[in-house]
Amino acid sequence: MLKNLQNISKKIAGLFGKVSQDIGIDLGTANTLVYVKGKGIAINEPSVVAINKKTGQVLAIGKEAKRMVGKTPGHIVATRPLVDGVVSDFEVTEQMLRYFINKVGKESFSLVPRPRVLIGIPSGITEVEKKAVIDAATNAGAREAFLIDEPMAAAIGARLPVTEAAGNMVVDIGGGTSEIAVISLGGVVASRSLRVAGDEMNEDIVRYCRDEFNLLIGEKTAEDIKIAIGSAYPMKESVSIPIRGRDLISGLPKEVMINDEQIRQAISRSIRIIVNNIKSVIEDTPPELLADVMQRGIILAGGGSLIRGMDRLIANQTEIPVRMMEDPLTAVVRGTGIVLEDLENLKDVLVENEYAKSLI
């Protein structure tokens, strides 16, 4: 009797899976991307929520909220509900997820069942942090929530043969975390998850401007500088740009010129930490898999990998070929989409939890 009930529930779940708009989410510290099964990437917005502290009301989410960062009155706060890739504010994360899920659901019929949601998470987070992500997704309207490690999703997004007995090395440098992993047979063989990534580099630039120029700048200005002239390896031609902020001595507005060499010096500590951890993962990799990695090369993904010369620096330091994957910013969410399209056959790549067990 119990077996019959289990078979019936699996058939109902399979029917729901065929008609529901299952979605994959790259729940990033800086940006959240949403993939809709059968349609592709539907949403790419900043992971920012603007809240009225007096009323507790959410005023804006995503792009509109990011425009408010650093420009709000005292009673309005534009905040990131995720810090270093994990949920720091459960209620705000839930509201943000509900907003994105509802935005996708508006285009479907009301009779379509609630979606199953697959979420990319940093590989180094705790069981409590995993549960927080699952609870936030289910409370936000997901029928079921599954988790997948971000480096695994990025590798699948790069169309690497992750289920074969061969070594694939992925370095995913995001906003809050850098994920380094060697993958074989659908599992992670050696990995590091660092809380050092794009946001840390922004803070490095803020500190450098304060220490070297007595100039106070905001996080958004620091990010703009990093994107404009940031580099990990010496460039052929020096580039400089003006930056504006507040003079810490006089308290008045001030403008100074800054060049790529100074920014390289500012972010060198964070980049050195990432490179040293890549070396540590290589040291932990079994020799047979390392031979595959040397042949296939290291794959770079994530927004942080777009810093000029990052691939050359890693290649020089590791003596292994390095290549940037196509469209590195969407690597993880494209990986979740590929898994969603063939969830039954790729269920082994999911992070084990009570929901994932129901698929087996």
Q: Give per-residue pLDDT as tens, 249-306.
A: 999 999 999 999 999 999 999 999 999 999 999 999 999 999 999 999 999 999 999 9
Q: Give per-residue pLDDT as tens, 24-72.
A: 999 888 888 999 988 888 888 888 888 888 888 888 888 888 888 777 7
Question: Which structure tokens are listed for 245?
Answer: 């902020």
pLDDT at residue 111, rounded to an integer: 46
CB atoms within 10 A of CB 342: 9
DSSP per-residue letters across 236-302: SS--EEEEEEEETTT-SEEEEEEEHHHHHHHHHHHHHHHHHHHHHHHHHS-HHHHHHHHHH-EEEES
pLDDT band at 2; cut points 50, 70, 90: very low
- pLDDT higher than threshold 70 for residue 159: yes
Q: Is 66 left (phi over 0), alpha (psi -120 to 50) or beta?
A: alpha
Domains, the chain, ranges and CATH? Answer: 164-196+270-326 (3.30.420.40), 198-266 (3.90.640.10)
Percent of the chain with pLDDT over 70: 89
Residue 131 CB contacts under 8 Å (≥ 6 apart), including other chains: none
pLDDT band at 10; cut points 50, 70, 90: very low
pLDDT at residue 133, rounded to an integer: 87
Residue 199's alpha-carbon distances to 47, 66, 68, 120, 280, in angstroms, are 13, 15, 18, 19, 22
Cβ atoms of residues 281 and 191 within 8 Å: yes
pLDDT band at 121; cut points 50, 70, 90: confident
Sign of the dihedral defined by the CA atoms of residues 235, 276, 315, 301, in that order? negative
d(CA 205, CA 264): 9
pLDDT at residue 9, rounded to an integer: 43
pLDDT at residue 85, rounded to an integer: 74
Phi, psi of 327 (to 5 degrees): 50, 70
Question: Which structure tokens are listed for 24?
Answer: 């994959």
pLDDT band at 130; cut points 50, 70, 90: confident
pLDDT at residue 8, rounded to an integer: 44
- pLDDT higher than threshold 80 for residue 182: yes
Q: Give per-residue pLDDT as tens, 103-114.
A: 886 655 444 568
Q: Give per-residue pLDDT as tens, 190-248.
A: 999 999 999 999 999 999 999 999 999 988 899 999 999 999 999 888 999 999 999 99
pLDDT at residue 353, rounded to an integer: 52
β-bridge partners, 50? 60, 78
Q: What is the mean pLDDT of the chain?
A: 86
